[in-house]
Structure 1
């Protein structure tokens, strides 16, 4: 079982390691100089100190705050995904990929409508996005799920009547709505399949164009081979 420490005994700071930054907490000995322990919070940001400070402020208000501050924390959160209950679904992986590609800044999940930006160069990277999506899905399905000990889980049970429980009261506009109709899920799923196939064809076309431009190039068409697979020609 891991150690626990009162919040007042922890000293927090931003740690700069290579290209990443995170927030770390240290525990000092009685002399106030010797470090006896250290751990990092989960969030990282390689660009903005401000986002790390904002992240820590949410935690500070949650740990120290009164009802008013807890209410402000709840209202500030616009996105939550229940990773403690289930793995990221292929549909959510697709939504996260789109957020990372056509939205900018650390606010892309908080306020997607005001962070949307689209550049034509994205069309060129579509084949890579298809591979990135497949890789993300495989990673999410095969990665180890961290679990807390039963003792810690028992201490962290949420009051059934807690008005700040975001598992029951999802933020407005949350990506993962529990009451999403089945038709919407089906449409999203079909759209993901079609988008993935289109991205693969674009990538195959680019490869064929590069092959055709090379002198004395006589390479088999990747587009034809992909069409053979997608059209189920191998079944007949």
Structure 2
């Protein structure tokens, strides 16, 4: 789970000078990179006026919901089992150590429930995604932020670099970071992630950066991206569907169908978390004053969105569903065996 930039504890650092690393890893919008181009399943729509992309938190959506629910279960048991009323009922209220133990466990349970709710709310009851628009004609960039506000910036004035984040128990992740600079061109006054590959692999950054850069800078950038991106994310004015939620979650191992089956119990549970996040959240809508800047010509030959997606083959569209059913069945069977055993142990 990479929640860099989302929430109060992982917010981007602003009102600061550029770091030496950001200066060394600057991405030049005018320089074409000799690299394989990849969109990392980030495009929502493409046309001659603008390109719309998903945010950095879209691909792994569902992880935080599931971890929150997994944390909430034992914490709720701690709150119930170690309630101070138990001391009163068992006449152990005269023992100071008993009070200390119960209050520590009870307080820890409540803290865990708060942490679970915080993690749950990172994805649920928010926006289904936080779109980013790049206007090729006006050279403007608009980006939805988790707090509901919208950032507006000039493409030609943004400072692009390889952004680095650290996730506990995972390590470093990398993205295409965009900085809004102050009038002195030295101070970072705002920041957002322009592009992100799943799990933040550093070697993927040049490929997705070149995909975006060529759209905004190359004379035939629109045509190139239109021809390349044959799968657009189905979230344009709508929620992601149940079927695509399965496909998107399992796509992290799309090249390894056997791995999809082996890890299907984990991935099926994450899919359920993704559904919860999607169907409790609102579909983002651009304000009229911003939408008016993104008029598409009616005869634009380079219009593409999810309605133009290529048809998935068996491995891409059917196999993930089979793996999901198998994985969820294994999870349900495991829980049906585990829960009665735990209840019996508690009662004893």
Q: TM-score, normalised by structure 2?
A: 0.45
- Determine which structure has greater relative contact order: mean sequence separation of CA pairs < 8 Å that are 6+ residues apart, divided by chain length: 2
Determine whether 1:158 maps to 2:293.
no
Measured after TM superposition, the shift of residue 206 of structure 1 is: 4.6
Measured after TM superposition, the shift of residue 2 of structure 1 is: 4.7
CA–CA distance in structure 2, aligned partners of residues 11 and 73 of structure 1: 23
* Compared CA separation, residues 157 and 206, structure 1 to 2 (3 A): same
* Compared CA separation, residues 42 and 147, structure 1 to 2 (3 A): farther
User: Which stretch of structure 1 is more off in the superposition, 87-96 or 70-79?
Assistant: 70-79
CA–CA distance in structure 1, aligned partners of residues 300 and 327 of structure 2: 45
Alignment equivalent of 1:20, drawn from 170, 173, 177: 173
CA–CA distance in structure 2, aligned partners of residues 218 and 82 of structure 1: 43
* Compared CA separation, residues 169 and 209, structure 1 to 2 (3 A): closer
Q: TM-score, normalised by structure 1?
A: 0.62
What runs of 5+ residues in structure 2 fail to find an aligned partner?
Answer: 1-148, 167-171, 313-317
8 Å Cα contact 1:79-1:174 kept in structure 2: no
1:230 corresponding residue in structure 2: none
Equivalent residue pairs, number: 186
Measured after TM superposition, the shift of residue 63 of structure 1 is: 1.7
Q: Deviations over 1:57-108 (max 9, x none)?
A: 2222222221x232112112131023122101111112223323x42xxxxx
1:106 corresponding residue in structure 2: none
What runs of 5+ residues in structure 1 fail to find an aligned partner?
Answer: 104-114, 176-187, 220-236
Determine whether 1:10 maps to 2:158.
yes
* Compared CA separation, residues 218 and 2, structure 1 to 2 (3 A): closer
8 Å Cα contact 2:234-2:306 kept in structure 1: no
CA–CA distance in structure 1, aligned partners of residues 243 and 237 of structure 2: 16
CA–CA distance in structure 1, aligned partners of residues 151 and 249 of structure 2: 36
Report SS of the residue matched to 1:157. coil
8 Å Cα contact 1:24-1:38 kept in structure 2: yes
8 Å Cα contact 2:215-2:222 kept in structure 1: yes
Determine whether 1:56 maps to 2:204.
no
Spell out the pairing of 1:1-236 with structure 2 (5 A cutoff): 2=150, 4-18=152-166, 19-66=172-219, 68-100=220-252, 102-103=253-254, 115-119=255-259, 122-123=261-262, 125-167=263-305, 170-171=308-309, 173-175=310-312, 198-206=326-334
Report SS of the residue matched to 2:153. coil
Report SS of the residue matched to 2:179. strand
CA–CA distance in structure 2, aligned partners of residues 135 and 11 of structure 1: 35
* Compared CA separation, residues 163 and 116, structure 1 to 2 (3 A): farther
Q: Deviations over 1:40-65 (max 9, x none)?
A: 21535444223222222222222222
Q: CA RMSD in A?
A: 3.7
